[in-house]
C-alpha cells in the first residue's frame, strides 16, 4: 500500500509529526554518510541508523497489531504508542495511517543505509547489481537472529576494527546478511544463530555474485545470460540541471525545463509552493503551463500516450537498482526533501523521439511499445536497437552478424531518473551491440561513477 492510496493529500502526510521528525533526522544522517572516511565513521553511523530503524519498526509492529485487534472488534492493546495525527482514535483509519507512516519513514531511513552501502562500495554499481538479486528483507524489529547479527558486527569491530555493514539496514543489499571490508576488499556472509544450520543455497548465491563481479560470469538468478558488462566510457549525466531544479523549486515552488536527449524535467517543492500562497487551482494551472512548455521545448509533447516517465514520488527504497538520493550531488536538505517527498521530480521522454535520436547516432532503433498511459511492467520491451556487421572470410565469402538489443523498464528508468547524458548512453548501447562478448541479458556498468555520486 502507498500512503497516498489512502486518499490523503501530500501535505497531510508531510505535516504529520512523525514525518517532520524524520525530515529533521535525515539531513545530519546524509551529511554523515558523505563525511565517512574510516571504518569508525561507518560503524558509528550504522549504530545510529540502526536505532532509528528499530524504533520506527517497533512502533509499526504495535500499530499493525492494533489494526488487527480493531478489525476483530477489540480495542487497541495496552502500551501501543498514541497516534500523533490528532485524528479520531476510535476510527481504524487513524491507526492504519500510523502504521503506513511508520512503513514510509522506515524506508526513508533505509535509503540512508542504501547511501552508506554505495559509499562503502566506493560507488561501484557492480556490487549493488550483483547483491540486490533476492527478495527484500522484512522487518528487523523482532527478527529471529538479529541478536546474532549484532554480535557479529560488534565482534568484527572489537577484534579487528573492521566495518561490517548490516544488509537489513538497506534495501539494495539482499543477498547475504553482512558485508565486511577486509584487507583484500569486501566479503559478504550469511549469518546463522546456529552454525550447524548453514544455508548452502544462499552461500552459493553469494559466491555467484562475487564471481560475476570478478569475471563477468552469470549473475545470481534464473537467467544464465544476465551478466555485468564493463562499458569503457565514463558515466556522464546532467546532474547540474537537477541541482538547479531543486534550488529553483525550493524558492519558486515549481521548476520545469528541457533536458538534452528528448526529455523534460518538472520539480515541485511543497515548502516552495506554500510560500507562494497559491490556491489549489492556481497551483494546478501553473504546473500545467510550465510542464507543457517544457515538453514543447523538448519536442515531446505532440503525442503524450507515447511518452514514458520516471518519478521520485514515494519511490524511496522500493527499487534496489536506483541510486539513493543521499549520494546524488545535491544539497543535503534537497536530498532529504526528495527522500521524504517534500520535493518531487519527474523526467519524461517521447519513445519515438528517443528512437529517432539513437538512429541519428548510427544506432537503428524502433519504439515498439504501443500507445497507452499504463505503467510499465517489469520485463516489458519498449524499444529495440539493431546492428549489423559484415566481414570477408579467408575464402572470399561475406559473413554478416546481426544483433538486436531490447530496452526494458529498468534501463529506461535509469536513463530518465539519473539524467544520463545521451551521448554517453548511446556509447554504452553501441558497445553492447558491437562487442562479440555481449550476453543476451546485459547489465551495463559505466566507468568512474564516483565522479558523479557523492
More confident residue, 165 or 434: 165
Q: What percentage of the chain has pLDDT greater than the value 90?
A: 85
Q: Say how many C-beta atoms besides its own lie within 10 A of residue 35's C-beta.
A: 10
Cell, residue 282 = 492556481
| 10 pLDDT higher than 90 | no
Decide the pairing of beta strands 365-367 and 307-311: unpaired
Q: Which residue has the cell 569475471?
A: 215
In terms of phi and psi (left: phi > 0; alpha: psi -120 to 50; beta: otherwise), the region of 123 is left
Measuring CA to CA, how many Å separate 285 from each of 9, 280, 288? Answer: 18, 9, 5
Q: What percentage of the chain has pLDDT greater than the value 70?
A: 96
Average pLDDT over residues 249-255: 98
Measuring CA to CA, how many Å separate 133 from each of 128, 137, 174, 177, 325? Answer: 9, 11, 6, 13, 21
Residue 363: the pLDDT is 96
Average pLDDT over residues 107-111: 98
Nearest to 129 by CA among 448, 447, 437, 442: 442
Average pLDDT over residues 390-414: 83
- Contact by Cβ (8 Å): 330, 27: no
Cell, residue 113 = 543505509
Q: pLDDT tens, 63-103? A: 999 999 999 999 999 999 999 999 999 999 999 999 999 99
Q: How far apart are CA 189 and CA 129, in angstroms?
A: 17
User: What HEC string does the chain produce?
Assistant: CCHHHHCCCHHHHHCCHHHHHHHHHHHHHHHHHHHCCCHHHHHHHHHHHHHHHHHHHHHHHHHHHHHHHHHCCCCCCCCCCCCCCCCCCCCHHHHHHHHHHHHHHHHHHHHHHHHHHHHHCCCCHHHHHHHCCCCCCCCCCCCCCHHHHHHHHHHHHHHHCCCEEEHHHCCCCCCCCEEEEECCEEEEECCCCCCCCCCHHHHHHHHHHHHHHHHCCECCCCCCCEEEEEEEEECCECHHHHHHHHHHHHHHCEEEEEECCCEEEEEEEHHHHHHHCCCHHHHHHHHHHHHHHHHHHHCCCCCHHHEEEEECCCCCCCCCCCCCHHHCCCCHHHHHHHHCCCEEEEEEEEHHHHHHHHHHCCCCEEECCCCCCCCCCCCCCCEEEEEEEEEECCCCCEEEEEEEEEECHHHHHHHHHCCECHHHHHHHHHHHHHCCCCCCEEEEEEECHHHCCC
Residue 2: the pLDDT is 55
Average pLDDT over residues 430-452: 93
Residue 394: the pLDDT is 75
Residue 1: the pLDDT is 47
Burial class (CB in 10 A: 0-12, 13-18, 19+), 369: middle
Decide the pairing of beta strands 226-234 and 441-447: parallel
Q: Which residue has the cell 517497533?
A: 58
Residue 6: the pLDDT is 59
Task: Name residues whose C-beta falls within 8 Å of residue 360's C-beta, 6 or more positions apart in sequence.
Answer: none
Residue 175: the pLDDT is 97
- Contact by Cβ (8 Å): 219, 227: yes
- Contact by Cβ (8 Å): 128, 218: no
More confident residue, 338 or 391: 338
Residue 158: the pLDDT is 96
Q: How far apart are CA 245 and CA 242, in angstroms?
A: 5
| 388 pLDDT higher than 90 | no
β-partners of residue 388 are: 402
Q: How far apart are CA 289 and CA 268, in angstroms?
A: 13
Mean pLDDT of the chain: 94
pLDDT band at 5 (very low <50, low <70, confident <90, very high): low
Cell, residue 264 = 523534460
Q: How far apart are CA 220 and CA 205, in angstroms?
A: 6
pLDDT band at 27 (very low <50, low <70, confident <90, very high): very high
- Contact by Cβ (8 Å): 49, 36: no
Q: pLDDT tens, 320-367? A: 999 999 999 999 999 999 999 999 999 999 999 999 999 999 999 999
Q: What is the pTM of this model?
A: 0.94
Residue 199: the pLDDT is 80
Residue 162: the pLDDT is 97
Residue 195: the pLDDT is 67
| 196 pLDDT higher than 90 | no
Residue 98: the pLDDT is 95
- Contact by Cβ (8 Å): 445, 231: yes
More confident residue, 373 or 301: 301
Amino acid at each position: 500500500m502507498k500512503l497516498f492510496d489512502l486518499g490523503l493529500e501530500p501535505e497531510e502526510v508531510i505535516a504529520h509529526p512523525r514525518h517532520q521528525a524524520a525530515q529533521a533526522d535525515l539531513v545530519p544522517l546524509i551529511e554523515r554518510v558523505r563525511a565517512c572516511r574510516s571504518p569508525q565513521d561507518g560503524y558509528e553511523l550504522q549504530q545510529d541508523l540502526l536505532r532509528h530503524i528499530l524504533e520506527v519498526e517497533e512502533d509499526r509492529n504495535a500499530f499493525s497489531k492494533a489494526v488487527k485487534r480493531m478489525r476483530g472488534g477489540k480495542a487497541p492493546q495496552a502500551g501501543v504508542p498514541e497516534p500523533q495525527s490528532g485524528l479520531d482514535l476510535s476510527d481504524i483509519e487513524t491507526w492504519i495511517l500510523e502504521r503506513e507512516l511508520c512503513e514510509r519513514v522506515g524506508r526513508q531511513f533505509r535509503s540512508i543505509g542504501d547511501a552508506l552501502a554505495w559509499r562503502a562500495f566506493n560507488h561501484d554499481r557492480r556490487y549493488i547489481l550483483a547483491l540486490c538479486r533476492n527478495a527484500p528483507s522484512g522487518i528487523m524489529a523482532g527478527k529471529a537472529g538479529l541478536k546474532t547479527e549484532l554480535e557479529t558486527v560488534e565482534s568484527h569491530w572489537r577484534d579487528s576494527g573492521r566495518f561490517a555493514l548490516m544488509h537489513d539496514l538497506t534495501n539494495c543489499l539482499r543477498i547475504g546478511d553482512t558485508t565486511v571490508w577486509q584487507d583484500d576488499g569486501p566479503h559478504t556472509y550469511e549469518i546463522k544463530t546456529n552454525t550447524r544450520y548453514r544455508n548452502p543455497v544462499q552461500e552459493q548465491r553469494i559466491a555467484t555474485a562475487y564471481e560475476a563481479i570478478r569475471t563477468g560470469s552469470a549473475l545470481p538468478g534464473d537467467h544464465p545470460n544476465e551478466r555485468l558488462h564493463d562499458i569503457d566510457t565514463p558515466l556522464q549525466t546532467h546532474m547540474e540541471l537537477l541541482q538547479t531544479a531543486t534550488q529553483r523549486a525550493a524558492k519558486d515552488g515549481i521548476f520545469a525545463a528541457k533536458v538534452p536527449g528528448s526529455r523534460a524535467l518538472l520539480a515541485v517543492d511543497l515548502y516552495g509552493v506554500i510560500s507562494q500562497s497559491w490556491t489549489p487551482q492556481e497551483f494546478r494551472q501553473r504546473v500545467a503551463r510550465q510542464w507543457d512548455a517544457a515538453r514543447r521545448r523538448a519536442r515531446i509533447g505532440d503525442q503524450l500516450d507515447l511518452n514514458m516517465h520516471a518519478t521520485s514520488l514515494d519511490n524511496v527504497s522500493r527499487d534496489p537498482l536506483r541510486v539513493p538520493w543521499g549520494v546524488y550531488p545535491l544539497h543535503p536538505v534537497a536530498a532529504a526533501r526528495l527522500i521524504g517527498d517534500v520535493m518531487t521530480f519527474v523526467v519524461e521522454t517521447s519513445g519515438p523521439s528517443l528512437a529517432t535520436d539513437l538512429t541519428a547516432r548510427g544506432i537503428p532503433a524502433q519504439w515498439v511499445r504501443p500507445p497507452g498511459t499504463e505503467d510499465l511492467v517489469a520485463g516489458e520491451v519498449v524499444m529495440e536497437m539493431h546492428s549489423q556487421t559484415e566481414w570477408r572470410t579467408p575464402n572470399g565469402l561475406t559473413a554478416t552478424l546481426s544483433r538486436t538489443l531490447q530496452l526494458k523498464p529498468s534501463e529506461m528508468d535509469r536513463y530518465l531518473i539519473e539524467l544520463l547524458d545521451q551521448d554517453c548512453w548511446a556509447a554504452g548501447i553501441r558497445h553492447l551491440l558491437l562487442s562479440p562478448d555481449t550476453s543476451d541479458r546485459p547489465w551495463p556498468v559505466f566507468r568512474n561513477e564516483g565522479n558523479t555520486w557523492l
